[in-house]
Chain A
């Protein structure tokens, strides 16, 4: 190889090597910056995925309800008659509001006066076994001073159902009407 050609080769090699080194330095600096951005975006993505998983669980729960053959909650009065003896419940709707795709959430207050308190768990089990189920939200029991085992039970129950009931604006309504 002629000296001039060798010199050109060496010069080219040096130039390419320096370009490679400069490119590497620039890339390292850019990647450090990019790594911070990617980390932030990964955190954002992780939060969104967590929210999506929550949303998916909600959707799955809704699909279970949609799959029910009966979409109206069972009457609490009839269940009360069937499971609690010697006591008629006072039932009133406390609140109802619209949910998604035609579903309505109804919250009912069930009051048993002078009832055998040992029958309350059976009543609660019966209402929660229904499809769609009633759920106990709040419960207040007070024993009677006159007789052992008797007392007053105030149960707040709620259930989602497609009853076709109309609600007031804002999806909320409170009524004091007795339903039995």
Chain B
């Protein structure tokens, strides 16, 4: 069974008859439904029934009748939900008239009370009742994979098909759903969207006995509803189409609890639709009482398959992690070794015949290179810019500045000039021109005393070709 099936068959038993609805989830998530005719149901049974469905990934859902099970709100004194979940089975055991070990139960909703403690809704049924229910389904030629609860299914589907009107003032309105099947009536009581309780009554065999049904209904409702409160009355089930029955019940009940009457459309298939919608879509109060020893083989196989797939996934992830780690480590070491061998090769080429200890490549190669460089430097120097060019540039700068050099001493990266000029500012022009050549210039000028000319000395550094 897939974790989220796309096609579902909801089968609701009503007396000796079964109502089957086929529902499927479209790509947009919308659930579409169709009631199977008797012929279609028979054809499905003959085609393999559930076994066929299980193979195809479809799901068949049944439900346990309210009369065979119970729903109960348990109030724990604990604030922590985790702790409450541990003590709730013991509280359930106290409430049950039979040992909790003899029944299957599911906690379907947790709420926090105004006092802050945890309140839980539990759905429980005796193992014998579940076994009997499954046998009834098998007698109808079907074996449901999931076993839902009738009361919960009716309640949630009523919220889906008839959402409660939003009440901004006062408390949420009460809602009572009465499902009139051929052989029994199911009463589901809630307030707003909160499920309250569900009850089951035998349907009278003759219409003349409706008063007895009304009396029993009122008896139950007096226990759950305050007198005089407004109630939204909903009717569904195979006999909801009998107007006389519905009218009689509605008139009698509204005399105590006034309220509107709502007849569910297609009331006969309401429960089957509810089962389908709950199986196909996520939502509140979801319940499957077919657990542990009652688990359907297809469900167990699917769970095993998921567990196996998860284990294989983890195994593959582990293998990939280990593989990537090993590969990464090998690639890193390979790269490191390649760089080391490149270093050794280059160092060996630069310092042939020298034994180079590991990690001492640079000092040893530098030592060897310093020996070689003095023998080859003059060859590379021959291609450096000529000092004669710089001499020509300095002479040109002097001519442009209209100064006369007396001595000129030029070396690579240094220049010393002495000379005379007619004007104090012409030395400044020379200084600027030498700076433009890249020199750092130190200019000294001597005031003309006996002569008319200004003597100057230039010490310049840098700027060498």
Interface residues of A (CB under 8 A from B): 1, 6, 9-10, 12-21, 23-24, 26-27, 30-31, 34-35, 37-38, 41-42, 44-45, 47-49, 51-52, 55, 57-59, 61-62, 64-65, 98-100, 103, 105, 121, 124-125, 128, 132-133, 135-143, 158, 160
Contacts and interface: CB of A to CB of B under 8 A. Distances in A.
B324 A24 contact: yes
B383 A61 contact: yes
Interface of B: 304, 307-308, 311-315, 317-322, 324-326, 328-329, 332-333, 335-336, 339-340, 342-343, 346-347, 349-350, 361-362, 365-366, 369, 372-373, 375-383, 386-388, 391-392, 395, 404-412
Contacts, number: 183
A142 B154 CA distance: 121
Given A23-B326, A48-B362, A135-B381, A124 B405 contact: no
A121 B369 CA distance: 36
A16 B319 contact: yes
Chain B CB count within 10 A is highest, among A12, A141, A142, A160, for: A141
A55 to B, nearest CB: 6
Given A48-B361, A121-B392, A160-B378, A142 B406 contact: yes
A43 to B, nearest CB: 9
B162 to A, nearest CB: 45
Contacts of B388: 121, 124-125, 128, 136
Contacts of B342: 45
Given A31-B332, A62-B376, A124-B391, A143 B320 contact: no
B382 A133 contact: yes
Chain A CB count within 10 A is highest, among B333, B342, B382, B392, for: B382
A55 B336 contact: no
B96 to A, nearest CB: 30
B391 A136 contact: yes
Given A23-B325, A100-B372, 17 more contacts: A17-B315, A20-B320, A20-B322, A21-B318, A23-B322, A23-B326, A30-B329, A30-B332, A38-B335, A41-B339, A44-B343, A51-B366, A132-B382, A138-B387, A139-B387, A139-B391, A143-B407
A20 B376 contact: no
B387 A136 contact: yes
A138 B409 CA distance: 8
A142 B407 contact: yes
A48 B335 contact: no
B346 A61 contact: no
Contacts of A37: 336
A100 B373 CA distance: 10
Nearest to A37: B336
Contacts of A41: 336, 339-340, 343
A-B pairs, top 8 by smallest CB distance, nearest first, are A20-B321, A16-B318, A17-B318, A13-B315, A61-B379, A20-B318, A124-B388, A58-B376
